[in-house]
Each structure stands twice: as C-alpha cells, then as structure tokens.
Amino acid sequence: MTGGLLIALYLFTLAGFLGLDVIRKVPPTLYGALATCMGAVAAIAVAVALPASGASGNGAPAILSVCAVAIATAGIVGGLLRTARALRERRDQRR
C-alpha cells in the first residue's frame, strides 16, 4: 500500500513538471478558451467521486459523493461546451 502511495507521488511530481512544459507559448486570443477548458479538465476528480458515490451505501457520504459527481460532471460538460462554443464563434467571425 505504501508502494502505491509512493508511485502516486512519483506520478504527481512528474505530471506537475509536464504541466509546466505543456503550456509554453499561448496566443492572447486563446487565454480565455485555454483557461476555461483547463477548468473542465481539473474536474477529473469525477473519476474518484463516481466510484465513491456507488460504493458508500447510504447516508451523508453517499449524498456528498453523488453531489460531487454531479458538480464535477457539470464542470466538465459545461466547461468543454463553452470552450467549443467560443472557438466556433471566433472562427465564424473570421470568415
């Protein structure tokens, strides 16, 4: 189990450095779109909320997990859709 935690720590560290590098040069017109879709990606917590919501049975933990799933899903769907809409709008304006 400790091994699992250590591997997770490795992953976290390396992913962190990857994140520093993925974003290098960003054209100013994309600032808003990139920030919004990053918000959507940050809602990846849904991947732990979802199993938790199905496993914790009843009571407060279950309700909290279901709420977490709902909020994270809304963040993902809403964030990506808004980004896509804004990008489409911009393309149409250019034409």
Partner 1 sequence: MNVVMNVTTVNALGNFAVPIVYIASTVFFVLGLKLMCRVRRARRGVTLLGLGFVLALAGLVLEAAHLDPKLVLAGVAAGLVLGLIVGLTGKVELGAGFAPLLAAAGGVAAVLVAVSAFLSDEAWPLGGALALEGGPRGAALGLAIASGLAALVLGVLAAQGPAARGSGQPSVVALAASASGLASAMVGFALGNPIVVTVGGLVATAGWTLAAIVASALGREPLDVAFGSGGKAGESSARDEYRNVKACGPEETAMVLENARKVVLVPGYGMAVAQAQHALAEIAKMLSLRGVKVVYAIHPAAGLIPGHMNILLDEAKVPAAQILEWEAANAELADADVALVVGANDIVNPATLNDATSAVFGMPLIDVARARAVFVIKRSLRPGAAGAKNALFDLPQTNMVLGDAKKVLQAIGVELKAQTPAAAAA
Considering only residues 38-67, where is the footprint of partner 1 by CB under 8 A? 38-57, 59-62, 64-67
Positive or negative torsion for Cα 9, 74, 28, 88: positive
Instruction: Report the nearest approach of partner 1 to the CB of residue 91 (Å).
Output: 7
| Closest by CA position to 82, among listed 40, 28, 30, 23 | 40
Write the interaction track for partner 1 spanning residues 5-24; mark x where CB under 8 A is met and - where it is not. Answer: x-xxx-xxxxxxxxxx-xxx
3 binds partner 1 (CB under 8 A): no
94 binds partner 1 (CB under 8 A): yes
What is the helix (H) or strand (E) element at residue 88, kind and residue range?
A: helix 59-94
